[in-house]
Amino acid sequence: MQLGRVRIAVTARINRCLNIHVNPDTGEKDIALLSLLNKYFHHTRTDILAKIMISGTVAVGDRLS
């Protein structure tokens, strides 16, 4: 993909860890967010690993393509 003049290659998709179930204020598990992601988006992958293939400048307003 490209953002501004930067060319980026996605090298891996990553599943989320269970920490997103924990309320940061109370430390309690209070939401089953991975289940909600799976229910509404049919996956639990929310992160990627990427490699910069061509470095360059990214500016406010540049579109990801």
Label residue 50 by pLDDT band (50, 70, 90): very high
**Distance between CA atoms of residues 14 and 47, nearest Å:** 5
Q: Are 58 and 20 in contact (CB under 8 A)?
A: no
Q: Residues of the chain with pLDDT > 70: what percent? A: 100
Q: Are 23 and 30 in contact (CB under 8 A)?
A: yes
Q: Residues of the chain with pLDDT > 90: what percent? A: 55
Q: Which two tokens stand for residue 28?
A: 């309690």
Q: What is the mean pLDDT of residues 12-34?
A: 85
Q: Are 55 and 9 in contact (CB under 8 A)?
A: no
What predicted TM-score, i.e. pTM, was given to this entire model?
Answer: 0.56
